Amino acid sequence: MDNAPTQGDRANLSARPAGSLADRAQRLGLDLSPEALSGIATVEAGLADHMERLNAEVAHIPPLAQHGPAIGAIVDAVKGRQQTPRDIALSALAVAREANRDLSCFTRFFEARALADAARVEARLARGEDPGPLAGVPYAVKDLFGVAGEPTTAGAQSRETAPPEADDCEAIRRLGDAGAILIGSTMMDEYAYGFVTVNSHYGTTKNPHALDRLAGGSSGGSAAAVAAGLVPFALGSDTNGSVRVPASLCGVFGLRPSHGDIPTEGVFPFVPSLDTVGAFARSAADLALVHAVLRDRAFVGSERALRIGWLDGYFTAPLDPSLRARLDTAITSIGESPPITLPEAGRARSAAFLLTAADGGRGHLGRLRQHRDQYDPSTRDRLLAGALLPDDRRADARRAARAFAVALDEAFDKVDLLVTLTTPSEAPAISDPRFSLGGEWVDARRELGLFTQPFGLSGVPAMSLPLPSPPGTLPIGLQLIGPRGRDDLVIEAALRLAQAGTVAPSTPPYYRTSLPC
């Protein structure tokens, strides 16, 4: 989320008291050169519009019978002794290594770990035990999940020498208990601060639908790996949209659960008050199964009709006509769907920007004091600018967050769920990471989270579902939002929309798999 200043922002910045930024840095124990202060000032200027904004201003879907996930094909093959977990693991590793030369979606491969996981499943089978609901299913995790025996690098080169983790994080432990096989870690923006998975240390993850396009971020490696068929599912984290944005651009299903629903223990933090553990899959049914394992509670479907409203105003006004047409097609398919306006959405997005910068920056303050030179310059300047934000700006942001939560509660008094597009653009070009928004060309890293950030701020569950892609287009996601704690409604609606054909993943030109999924 770069914060490039506008001309007006620069004017506002120049009117501030001279030396105020340096004074704030000194109070925090930061000895910054004039060049460093200049870079931070540029980022701070980009936050000015968000500061100013804070100071300004139902469909019926028939019930669906449960159906089996594609993951079930692997589990059935393992339980039926048609394939061994070891063979599946080795095959997945071989295909992923080969594809990674083109996609740059993995950072490390865990062959020894994968074979150990496979052996554990085989031992259960030999003892006549149930090997688990994910028996033999290979998967990958974003490079900030703690893996026993490996350093948690969080996309940062400086953390390659971090001590290895003594234990798996809780999410990986639960997946292992369910029989899943971990094959590797995936690419991300440094410290999860971005929407593009462009990493100055490790490279740029490419979109399997077009290798010259961005995969989105910050969990872009996981999304690309699932879209390309390398693994049936993968884990990511979502603070402001880091699961939903790449799910949209890569054309897969991606769920941000209610905040706190899945433990983040052992996951490298970015903004703990917003961070969540999410997952990607190529079907809603697969995602429902993985989510049930992660939350350690079975998914129970609903038999009642669901009311879905679509969000207008902030969420439709800037859309390109072709994207608005795809949204309208989805709304028509849903049926009787009333428009809902959330006038606080723009302020909520600004609040998310500021809280992310402030809390993320303060979380890194100790490392920034000692090791600023080890950060990507863009990440460093955004974190420093956030750490230096005055406390009254953080208070403004928290007030805006509370106001948006009230507006959301009022909307959910009228409908069960809400829909928007997940992103305001298809995948931008890697060579020119911009897109058209409301008639202006804007920076992808900054603006791809336009529609996801308000809901990350509120802690509600939200899923990106892939809309059908007409010829000559790239994927775009439909964002489905539910009340906090009602992840079950989001999953139920996703299953029904998939059954109805309203949403469906498309197979990308770059698809490489040897798995029965």
Active-site positions read 142, 218, 242
SS (H, E, C) 164-182: CECCCCHHHHHHHHCCCEE
Q: What is the DSSP letter of 241?
A: S
What is the rounded CA–CA span in Å between residue 272 and residue 256?
Answer: 14
Contact 286, 252 (CB under 8 A): no
Tell me the chain's radius of gyration from C-alpha atoms.
Answer: 22
Cα within 13 Å of Cα(423), Cβ side: 38
- Given CA atoms 97, 102, 105, 106 in this order, what sign does their dihedral have? positive
Contact 462, 480 (CB under 8 A): yes
Here the tokens at position 175 are 């997946």
Cβ-count burial 440-451 (b if 16+ within 10 Å, e if not)? eebbbbbbbbbb
What is the rounded CA–CA span in Å between residue 59 and residue 308?
Answer: 4
Here the tokens at position 393 are 């700006």
Residues in the chain: 517
Here the tokens at position 239 are 């603070």
Contact 253, 494 (CB under 8 A): yes
> Residues with Cβ < 8 Å from 389, sequence gap 6 or more?
44, 47, 354, 357, 358, 361
Cα angle 199-201-202, degrees, rounded to a multiple of 5: 70
Here the tokens at position 351 are 């609040």
Beta-bridged to residue 96, according to DSSP, are none
Residue 64, classified by CB atoms within 10 Å of its CB into exposed (0-12), middle (13-18) or buried (19+), is middle
Residue 139 falls in which region: left (phi positive, over 0), alpha (psi -120 to 50) or beta: beta
First to last CA, the chain: 34
Here the tokens at position 333 are 């398919």
What is the rounded CA–CA span in Å between residue 316 and residue 342?
Answer: 12
Contact 359, 382 (CB under 8 A): no
> Residues with Cβ < 8 Å from 503, sequence gap 6 or more?
284, 330, 465, 466, 467, 468, 478, 494, 497
Give the three-state DSSP class for 195. coil
